[in-house]
Structure 1
């Protein structure tokens, strides 16, 4: 609605002159996108700025990728992670988070060579499988010759079948 803040999760900086969180601490709340929000301390959570690649990763997409890779899949040091939809919200954080959790190799999946070039230039992905450039299973075997240990799948379909 015009004149109202856009609803959603927000990452910002505490300005409240109290003990916790301290002024300057990075914080997360769900009071919407606005320049300033006066929120009860019980709903403002201090976030660790080093836990994820960027503060923005603490928003829903980054939190989804981190939860999936840390809690559900349990990425182990030295493993290989395959992330479908690597240029999308969850996938953009997936490769970097997997690396922070100890993955040795990150392989992403995207729909165009233009996106693949960008993803290869960012940390987290060693190789990118481009859909439509040949059978996904064959391209995935080439990108991860020793197989994959973890699949972060936000797309399904042919990529899910290829990762088996």
Structure 2
């Protein structure tokens, strides 16, 4: 295993519809000698996430798109293997956003030191103990304003954010939490492991009807990872004053035609509803509060998690494609 040659995944072309292997390339890049103030990191895990699909399009968004011929960036966790900065000596565990590669190198400021806790896998820093968990917390608290005793519906509930959001909602005092997922096995997992009071398989059809049956008294909060028919179902099920935190729209990420909007938008007016989209970068001030709460919940054994792990940086693209197709339960990760 070379200490100087980085295997990187680059964007070779922009996908139209579903991405394919041809949209990516594997590059072997010889890293230069470290300059003063720089470190070299061997990644232990790298993250593949739904939002990355949007960055493959050359469109306006909250962050600039990936550039053709450049490495795919994103979350990763690893250890410093060479350092010319005393603040990050060799062996330090770090988080960074340099993305899909086995080796990462750059100024020490690009890497965040994290505690190396016995018995806590470093991979958790990329999901339940990290940005994924924080995303769920921000959506429920800062965006939807969840209060004790309310009923919550979470779409895409068996994914990384969804499994976190369901647990956090219950810990915040939700009376009832309902989730949607894409298989009978995932539906069973939501209720047996993640504390969901009810769940349904959206692939069985009639999302609106299934939600109405699972929430006969209506819903107060909707945490949306999917959009499309799930958003329409939530608009039908909302009680007066309902709030939606719009986190993702997986249903439309790989479409080539415009996605039809909900047919019941008038409910926003007649029921006094609030729909608000958000991206985590605007709410990082909640990080310390979340870390304290999640650390306590995790130490008390109140947090469950699942990881779907693919081995080898060369298999990163396949892991990404599988995740986009719903093959993961919990967080999809690539182990280096």
TM-score (norm 1): 0.69
* Alignment correspondent of 1:67: 138
Alignment-derived partner of residue 22 in structure 1? none
- 2:219 is the alignment partner of 1:148: yes
> What is the CA deviation profile of residues 8-66 of structure 1, one whole-angstrom value per residue up to 9, with x for unaligned ones?
55689xxxxxxxxxxxxxx97768899xxxx979x75889xxxxxx8664322211111
Say which SS state the counterpart of residue 70 (structure 1) adopts: helix
Aligned mates of 2:220, 2:77 — CA distance in 1? 32
Contact in 1 for aligned 2:179/2:199 (Cα 8 Å): yes
- Judge conservation of contact 1:109–1:130 (CA < 8 Å) in 2: yes
Aligned to 1:159: 230
Match of 1:103 among 147, 150, 174: 174
Aligned residues between the structures = 155
Task: Indicate if the aligned counterparts of 1:9 and 1:60 stay in contact, CA closer than 8 A.
Answer: no
Query: 1:1-16 residue pairs with structure 2 within 5 A?
Result: 1=8, 5=43, 9=75
In the other structure, the counterpart of 2:164 is 93
The Cα shift of 1:111 comes to 1.3
Q: Residue 166 of structure 2 contacts residue 195 of structure 2 at CA under 8 Å; is this kept in 1?
A: yes
In the aligned structure 2, how far is the partner of 1:148 from the partner of 1:72?
Answer: 16
| 1:129 counterpart = 2:226 | no
Aligned Cα RMSD in Å? 3.6
Q: Does 1:115 align with 2:186?
A: yes
Unpaired segments ≥5 residues, structure 1: 13-26, 48-53
How much does 1:144 deviate? 0.9
Please give the alpha-carbon distance, in whole angstroms, between the structure 1 residues aligned to 2:169 and 2:125: 16
Offset, 1:3: 9.9
Structure 1 position 163, deviation (Å): 0.5
| 1:153 Cα offset (Å) | 0.4
CA contact (8 A) 2:75 2:126 kept: no
Q: Greater Rg, structure 1 or structure 2?
A: 2
